[in-house]
Amino acid sequence: MANKQLRKMIISEIFGFKFDFEFHIRNIAF
pLDDT at 2: 80
pLDDT (tens, 9 = 90+) of the chain, 30 residues, equals 688 998 999 888 888 888 888 888 888 776
- Dump the DSSP string for 1-30: -HHHHHHHHHHHHHHHHHHHHHHHHHHHH-
pLDDT at position 4 is 92
pLDDT of residue 17: 85
Phi and psi angles of residue 18, each rounded to the nearest 5 degrees, phi first = -60, -45
Burial class (CB in 10 A: 0-12, 13-18, 19+), 17: exposed
Q: Say what the pLDDT of residue 1 is.
A: 63
